[in-house]
Amino acid sequence: MFQLVRAGLFVVSLLAAAGSLAEIGVATVLDSAFETNRVYCGYFLCDEKVVATYAYRQQLLGTTDSLRDAIGILRGVVLRDPASAERWIDLGEALAAAGSAKQAQSCIARAVDLGATSADVLVPAGNFYLLAGDRGLGVRYLSRALALTSAFDAAIFSYFAANDVQVNELLKSGVSDEARVAQAYLRYSMSRAELSSARAAWKWVYGHNLVDRKIASDYSDFLISQRQFEEAAAVWASQVRYLSPGYRTTEYLYNAGFESETSPGAYFDWKINPSENVEVTREKQADGWSLRIVFDGLANLAFNHISQKTVLPPGRFRFGVRVKTDSLTTDEGIFFRIADGESPSRLSVETAPLLGTSDWRQLQCSFAVSPDTRVIEVSVNRRPSLRFDNKIKGTIWIERPSLAPL
């Protein structure tokens, strides 16, 4: 033993002379053969991260001996570095794994005292208290971490999910950035397709005026993915009624007058898919806005690039639209189709096709919606022509499309 100590002292003198390069060397030796070289730690030559990593590996083994070894190693670490909140966390978690709850809690409390503004400390501390049954303290520490950074959102929300912590319980704990945290929790629930928790999160977000257009659109899309069409339409309507007065009461098309630019990706707004042979623009008219569609005459198009989905209650409805055309060619003209968005065999009606040149005129058709139809799609269409002269050219203007109950 005396020889080992002398050898150690000799190594210490060499390391002192070599400086940081020697410390790197010791870290490498420790990482590869910790047990036979841990004596260096007694001379404050260890990289404590390497030591903590080794202790963590021992902890993961989960045996009585490995846990005892991990705890012994980490006790030495906190003795050498008692001001490190992270090392106190490490020791507390090892003690908790070994079943020493009171000692573990003492270490975790010490860690929080030292690292009250560190998410790296607050996250494991919060999870410890949730598992230990102190729900209030666990939620409070985790919500404090959420306010500090978004980096741990997924981990924290997974802890909440495992412990059935709802968004209202989280936000009542006093998290400072309610809008970000509430929306992040809602997005987490949606990413896991958890309809009930997403609904609870949305209720909180909406009830506390923390909704913006993007989160409403995303939540509406999530409800669509869950086949909750009526609920999704109500969510969308709650955010856009000021833009489309009467939407979902007297008028079931959103942005029916094209007064607003479309919202990319929004399920219930107009979708205008690009085509290299078609130019689509909004155009100001004397009494409002129209959609101007120009075909360049270079393709025999199967056109269905403009559409909107909506949810209708059972009953009878009328579709109407004002149109104007200029020199639309070929035998296959432009028409409007109203169809069941899931199964057109249940419902599909079309207006007469438009060709040639005409001034503004009104088109309309009536139809009945059965309880089986959950979503309707209104679209602008053209079928490919079978004739030799089949490349469509010309212009059509669309104004004030409407879908109203009879």
| 108 within some domain | no
Tens digits of residue pLDDT in 119-166: 999 999 999 999 999 988 999 899 889 888 989 999 998 898 888 887
Per-residue pLDDT at 3 exceeds 70: no
Reported for 166-171, long-range contacts at CB under 8 A and 24+ positions apart, including other chains, are: 166/197, 166/200, 167/197, 167/200, 167/201, 167/204, 167/205, 168/200, 168/204, 169/139, 170/139, 170/142, 170/143, 170/146, 171/143, 171/204, 171/208
Taking each helix axis as running N to C, give the angle between helix 119-132 and helix 135-148, from 0 to 180 degrees, rounded to the nearest 10: 160
Instruction: Evaluate whether residue 187 is within a structural domain.
Output: no
Would residue 350 count as lying in a domain?
Answer: yes
Please state, in angstroms and as integers, the Cα–Cα distance from residue 170 to each residue in 132, 165, 316, 401, following that order: 18, 7, 46, 45
Residues 5-25 pLDDT 10s: 344 434 444 444 444 444 444
pLDDT of the residue at 213: 80
* Of the candidates 281, 276, 280, the residue with the CA atom closest to the CA atom of residue 298: 276
218-249 pLDDT per residue, tens: 999 999 999 999 999 999 998 887 777 789 99
HSE, CB side, 13 Å, CA atoms: give it for residue 299.
12
Most confident of 26-30, 48-52, 254-258, 323-327: 323-327
DSSP run (H or E) holding 273 = none
Residue 224 included in any domain:
no
Question: For residues 205 and 56, what is the distance between their CA atoms, to the nearest angstrom?
Answer: 39
> Within a domain: residue 325?
yes
In a domain, 239, yes or no: no
For residues 185-213, give the mean pLDDT.
87
Q: What does the pLDDT average to over 340-361? A: 96
In a domain, 62, yes or no: no
Task: Answer yes or no: are the C-beta atoms of 183 and 205 closer than 8 Å.
Answer: yes
Q: What mean pLDDT value characterizes the chain?
A: 86
Q: Is 311 contained in some domain? A: yes
Q: How many domains is the chain built from? A: 1
CA neighbours closer than 13 Å in the CB half-sphere of residue 103: 12
**CA 76 vs CA 72, 80, 87, 211, 400: distances in Å:** 6, 6, 10, 50, 77
Q: Which domain holds residue 373?
A: 271-405
- The pLDDT, as a whole number, for residue 285 is 86
pLDDT (tens digit, 9 = 90+) per residue, 55-89? 888 888 889 988 898 898 889 888 888 999 999 99
Q: What is the CATH number of the domain that holds 362?
A: 2.60.120.260
